[in-house]
Amino acid sequence: METIPSLGSWALRDLSCVWHPFTQAKTASPPIPIVKSKGAYLYSESGEAYLDAIASWWVNLHGHAHPYIAEKIAEQARDLEHVLFTGFTHPQAIVLAERLLFMLPRGYSRVFYSDNGSTAVEVALKMAFQAKGNGKKLLSFQEAYHGDTFGAMAAAGKTHYNRPFWPYLFQVHSIPPPLSGKEAESWKAFEATMGAGEIAAFIFEPLIQGAGGMRLHCGKTLARMIEVCQAQGIITIADEVMTGFGRTGPLFACNQLDATPDLLCLSKGITGGFLPLGATATKEFIFNAFLSSDVTRAFLHGHSYTANPLACAAANASLELLLQPTCTAARIMIESEHRQFQRQWKKHPKLIRCDVLGTILVIEYKTDGASYYHPLKQRLVDFFREQGILIRPLGNVLYLLPPYCITREELQKIYSTIAITLEAWS
């Protein structure tokens, strides 16, 4: 009789039965089997340790396998693992919504749950389009990234990430973001688009565009754009999927803006990196727009695992850790180390830029042509891996976005590895 495969040694496994994301299976090296994690480290079965300099795709906040979060998930699993979220609710979801509303900039009054960053964005887009909007089109920044579902892909405009799907994406107005020195150009494009009067909603990654190249932009110009939109009844959507939960210094990037967007999307760090969860916070006027005695005017959207109690328990535990003074101090330490690195290296002839925003450090290497597929990316990945460091550059752009538990010494090890690429590489 055939038996179900057991969990056993990796050495005996055929890894090829799994199709991996963002991977060209024909040319990529086999994935590294990871069997354990602790603090800022991931461990392979053969015992190699990898210092996780990018918080495993920007999700981990307090370190891997954090015992407090693990314990809270286990406690919740013994009480209630899941319940459908229409017609039912549960304490973890309510407490989490209360905590998020307490922590977010003032003005939000409701939280809608989903499963990941893309769906948090998808929910915001659908809410904006259904709630009102004075026009039909979406406004967004060029080179944005909002996720891989169709709405989220369309929101980003045409980029290299979504090229095979261009014919299927709804049209958006894409304007240049207000990058340093290019604020006037961005504003001009913004005003021209406003003039056409077609815009229903404006979506943006506040202060820094992540997957599009870790590009920082001007918060003041962005806040003015938000204000203009709001004055014209255009719904504004902050995608804080990457920037939320302290990445840019304060708890949210929007804390640094002089305007509060109408919808705010969260995911990634929300559970401290333990379980998938998305959340979209809304202002009351958006919620009110769905109130009607006609059931078809409700927001008819949801997911099987919406507000999963284990994910909410992880998020509640993670937020408790996030609000501890030691976590704030850790983020301040990371930023100050990054700034020291920046002072030392920003003028290096091999660099186009060296930027710091909170716990994020970005360096862009001078290369012949700059694309996501630039061969420098693989060279960097391989070299850092040999040094036991996990990074994932965006072409010629290398960034650090570490878990907050990383130590000064661990940061110094990463900086020295970068220094070798600058000083010793030809």
Nearer to ligand PLP by Cβ, of 140 and 267: the residue is 267
What number of chain residues touch ligand PLP (CB under 6 A)?
14
Residue number, 267 or 396, with CB nearest to ligand PLP = 267
Please state the φ and ψ torsions of residue 310, each to the nearest 5 degrees: -70, -40
Give the one residue of 122, 205, 337, 355 binding ligand PLP; rule: CB under 6 A: 205
Measured in whole angstroms, how far is the alpha carbon of residue 253 from the centre of its chain? Answer: 12
Alpha carbon separation from 81 to 91, 238, 312, 316, 318 (Å, rounded): 12, 31, 11, 15, 18
Query: Which residues have CB under 8 Å from 186's CB, separation 6+?
Result: 175, 176, 177, 178, 179, 217, 221
Whose Cβ is closer to ligand PLP: residue 105's or residue 244's? 244
> Could you tell me which stretch among 30-38, 203-211, 349-357, 402-410 binds ligand PLP (CB under 6 A)?
203-211
241 near ligand PLP, rule: CB under 6 A: yes
Least Å from the CB of residue 269 to ligand PLP = 11
Cα maximum dimension of the chain: 71
- Residue 361 parent element (H or E): strand 360-365
Closest CA to 363 of 312, 317, 397: 397
Closer to ligand PLP at the Cβ: 211 or 218?
A: 211
The binder of ligand PLP chosen from 76, 114, 116, 186 (CB under 6 A): 116
Q: How far apart are CA 415 and CA 147, in angstroms?
A: 30
Closest residue by Cα to residue 277 from 100, 405, 404: 100
Which of 39, 117, 246, 269 is close enough to bind ligand PLP by CB under 6 A?
A: 117
Binding to ligand PLP by residue 270, rule CB under 6 A? Answer: no
Residue number of the CB atom closest to ligand PLP: 117
Contact stretch for ligand PLP (CB under 6 A) within 64-72, 141-149, 295-303, 365-373: 141-149
Question: Whole-angstrom Cα distance, residue 175 to residue 142?
Answer: 6
**273, 278, 283, 287 alpha-carbon torsion, rounded to 10°:** -160
**Least distance CB 196 / ligand PLP (angstroms):** 26
Q: Do residues 310 and 77 touch, judged by C-beta distance below 8 A?
A: yes
User: Please, what is the minimum distance in Å from the beta carbon of residue 403 to ligand PLP?
Assistant: 16
Residue 190 makes contact with ligand PLP by CB under 6 A:
no
Cβ closest to ligand PLP, residue 229 vs residue 242? 242
CB nearer to ligand PLP: give 158 or 346: 158
The single residue among 113, 145, 274, 341 that binds ligand PLP, judged by CB under 6 A, is 145
- Residue 216 CB partners (closer than 8 Å, separation 6+): 179, 180, 207, 208, 355, 357, 362
> How far is Cα 226 from Cα 236, in angstroms, rounded to an integer?
6
User: What does the binding site for ligand PLP look like in residue numbers (CB under 6 A)?
Assistant: 116-118, 121, 145-147, 205, 210-211, 239, 241-242, 267
